Amino acid sequence: MEKHNGQLVSDHHGCTPGQPPRVLRPAEAARYIGVGLTSLWALSQEDSFPKPVPLTARARGYLRDELDAWLVARRVSAQTSSAPETKPARARDA
């Protein structure tokens, strides 16, 4: 915390120290999920990806909690789709 005009204000954008801010600008959001800006833009065109929220008339940001939820959903989806297929047992020639 730091003082500004005699009041204590958070110097971490409303989050705990060591945590990313709750709202991430596009470059920060891309780094957070491990992709480049072009990939972030492409992902934002998908219905399943979190939509940016308006911060000002021109600035947009992504909510960290929504990005976290998207990452978890991707992990669960990848785990269920990459499960090995079980083939029916073949009848043995006797």
DSSP classification of residue 7: E
Residue type, 83: A
pLDDT tens for the chain, residues 1 to 94 = 444 444 443 444 445 667 767 999 999 999 999 999 999 999 999 999 999 999 999 999 999 999 999 999 988 888 887 655 555 556 666 5
Q: What is the CATH number of domain 21-78?
A: 1.10.1660
Q: Considering only CA atoms, which of 16, 2, 19 is closest in space to residue 64?
A: 19
Q: Quote the pTM value.
A: 0.64
Q: Considering only CA atoms, which of 49, 21, 16, 22 is closest in space to residue 35?
A: 49
Domain range annotation of the chain: 21-78
Alpha-carbon span 41 to 65, nearest angstrom? 18
